[in-house]
Every structure is written in structure tokens, then in C-alpha cells.
């Protein structure tokens, strides 16, 4: 299916996604509303002080081209919602000064990075053996994350959330691996998860996430096809969470469900307003001519662990 990466040499139809880069590549250049738009409370004086305490040095940091030109990249993670183009194009602010400029300024005046980290992470004590440059890199990573949205003061209990769901008609739902674990789909990161088992079966795999990398896939598609067999469509049923989202869709309350999952359980549940940010197993495509087939066409090969080949028009 077209889900996390593509292809197995020449004419192979891949069991991976419309997004060739797979989960983990981060979108960094984004537009933002003016800084004033983030302040929605009446008591500006107190609220600004609270906000400064909460987000600290981020007040002077917005993000975009400066990060890219300085070569900074966010941590790769298939659990990060910003890892897809669909969910990362419009929301991160543009920099007044970037994290690198900020750090350079403090390096010049001899600031101890631990004092900044204490403000950013007040309940965390960095290990004493970490050198200053490592600590500055941690500062950069933290400051490069979009600031957290302020909590609404009128939403504090489960009952408040239920009331919101009952009253709202344009609900956006973001889902990841957690909604499918109860369906029996193996997770990625646990001790016995997919990544751990792939590392044993394929010791030459440089990193478990490399199975989603298109270049590695061209070289050796076996790790991906082994993974594909484990979560291929048709083996699992939607969870209560999937069914709840589908009900919200049916009742006209759902604006969109953005999912990182590629298991197609959203379609099985009947969710129509769905964006699969990492693609899905619904189809498989030829690496050369992009000829697309339904997942059923390659099911037998996937389960027999045979790399699927088709005599495409491109050959």
C-alpha cells in the first residue's frame, strides 16, 4: 500500500505511501499569525507575565527560513504530527530571530545554557556530564518547537470536553498509533515492537525507521515487506475510537480526521473526512511508471513475503 515509503527496485509495486519520504521528515517553513493573536485574555499584564514564564525565551523566537539556511532539522519521529506536508504547512511562526541567532548572542555574552534550560524546563535537571555545546543544542531543539497553545480556562473536566463535543460542529481529530493498538496492531517503539524485531531480523538496517526511507527501500525492500505483512489491511477491526470518529462524521460534526496511521482502519470504520498524512496500505504503486493497484492485488505476495513485480507499460 501507499503508506510509509515506496518501491522495490525497477518494476516493483511498493507496499508504502503517497509520501515517498515516509514518517519523520519535518516541515519547517511555516507562516504564522501576528504575535498579538496569541494573546486572547483580558488581563494582559498578568497574562503576559504568565505566558513569559510558561514559554520563556520563545517570545522572541519565530521559525522559518532562518532555521533552514542554518541547517537545523527537528528530531525525526513517526509519532510527530508535523511530519507530514498535510499537517505542517501553515502553523509555525516565521522568525524574528532564529534559535541559532539567539544562541549565538548568548554564547557571546557567556550565558550558562543551564540557566536557560532551567527557565525552559523548570522541573528538569540536565545531567552534569553534558557539555555546554550539547546543552545549547538542546536549547535550540526546544526553542524550535512551536509554542504550546494556551489552555482554555473554561475547559477543565471530562464533562467540559463532552459538552464541547456535543455543541461543536467543526471538530478536528488528530490520531496516531494509540487508536489502533487495541485492535491488535503491533506498536513501533515498545520492547517487543516492530522496530525492536526488525533490528534483530535485519542487523544491517542502520535505523529501524530506515525501512520507510525510499533509498533504503530501493536497496533492500525486505524489512518493509516484513513489516507490511504484520499490519496489512483485512486482519483487524476498528476500535471504539475509530467508531466514535466515524459517528461524529456521520452526524456532521467532524471537519477532518488527520491520521498518521497507514492501517486503513479509518476507511473500514466508515470515516469519510480523512487525511492520511503518511499515505496508507490502500494501494501500491510502481516505482517507475506509478501504475497503481488495489491492496488486494498484492496481498498474496505480501503474505508470502515475495517482492511484487508486474509487467508495467514502463518496461
Q: Which residues are catalytic?
A: 278
* C-alpha to C-alpha distance for 223 and 217, rounded to whole angstroms: 8
Query: Which cell numbers in the block locate residue 43?
Result: 488581563
Contact 310, 286 (CB under 8 A): yes
Tell me the CA distances in angstroms from 221 to 164, 192, 305, one per residue in order: 46, 22, 10
Q: Which of 238, 243, 239 is nearest to 254 (CA)?
A: 243
Instruction: Break the chain down into helix, strand, coil percent, rounded to 5.
Output: 40, 10, 50
State the DSSP string of 49-118: HHHHHHHGGGGGB--SHHHHHTT--PPP-TT-GGGSGGGSSS-SPPPSB-HHHHHHHHHHTT--HHHHHH
* C-alpha to C-alpha distance for 161 and 57, rounded to whole angstroms: 31
Contact 146, 92 (CB under 8 A): yes
Tell me the CA distances in angstroms from 2 to 5, 208, 251, 295, one per residue in order: 7, 19, 29, 9
Contact 37, 136 (CB under 8 A): no
What are the residues whose beta carbons fall under 8 Å from the beta carbon of 151, sequence distance 6 or more?
Answer: none
DSSP label of 36: G
Amino acid at each position: 500500500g501507499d503508506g510509509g515509503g515506496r518501491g522495490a527496485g525497477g518494476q516493483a509495486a511498493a507496499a508504502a505511501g503517497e509520501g515517498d519520504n515516509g514518517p519523520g521528515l519535518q516541515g519547517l517553513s511555516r507562516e504564522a499569525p501576528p504575535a498579538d493573536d496569541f494573546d486572547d485574555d483580558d488581563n494582559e499584564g498578568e497574562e503576559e507575565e504568565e505566558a513569559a514564564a510558561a514559554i520563556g525565551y520563545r517570545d522572541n523566537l519565530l521559525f522559518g527560513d532562518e532555521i533552514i539556511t542554518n541547517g537545523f532539522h527537528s528530531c525525526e519521529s513517526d509519532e510527530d504530527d508535523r511530519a507530514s506536508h498535510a499537517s505542517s504547512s501553515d502553523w509555525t511562526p516565521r522568525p524574528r530571530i532564529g534559535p541559532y541567532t539567539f544562541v549565538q548572542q548568548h554564547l557571546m555574552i557567556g550565558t550558562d545554557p543551564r540557566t536557560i534550560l532551567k527557565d525552559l524546563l523548570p522541573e528538569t535537571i540536565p545531567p552534569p556530564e553534558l557539555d555546554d555545546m550539547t546543552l545549547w543544542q538542546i536549547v535550540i531543539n526546544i526553542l524550535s518547537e512551536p509554542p504550546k497553545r494556551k489552555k482554555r480556562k473554561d475547559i477543565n473536566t471530562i464533562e467540559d470536553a463532552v459538552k464541547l463535543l456535543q455543541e461543536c460542529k467543526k471538530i478536528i481529530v488528530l490520531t496516531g498509533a494509540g487508536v489502533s493498538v487495541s485492535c491488535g496492531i503491533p506498536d513501533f517503539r515498545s520492547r517487543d515492537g516492530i522496530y525492536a524485531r526488525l533490528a534483530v531480523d535485519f542487523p544491517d538496517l542502520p535505523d529501524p525507521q530506515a525501512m520507510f526511507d525510499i533509498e533504503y527501500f530501493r536497496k533492500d525492500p525486505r524489512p518493509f515487506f516484513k513489516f507490511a505483512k504484520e499490519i496489512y489491511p483485512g486482519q483487524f477491526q476498528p476500535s471504539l475510537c475509530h467508531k466514535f470518529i466515524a459517528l461524529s462524521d456521520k452526524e456532521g460534526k467532524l471537519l477532518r480526521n488527520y491520521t498518521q496511521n497507514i492501517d486503513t482502519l479509518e476507511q473500514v470504520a466508515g470515516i469519510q473526512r480523512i487525511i492520511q498524512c503518511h499515505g496508507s496500505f490502500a494501494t501500491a504503486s510502481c516505482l517507475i511508471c506509478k501504475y497503481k493497484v488495489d491492496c488486494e492485488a498484492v496481498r498474496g505476495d505480501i503474505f508470502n513475503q515475495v517482492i511484487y513485480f508486474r509487467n508495467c507499460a514502463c518496461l
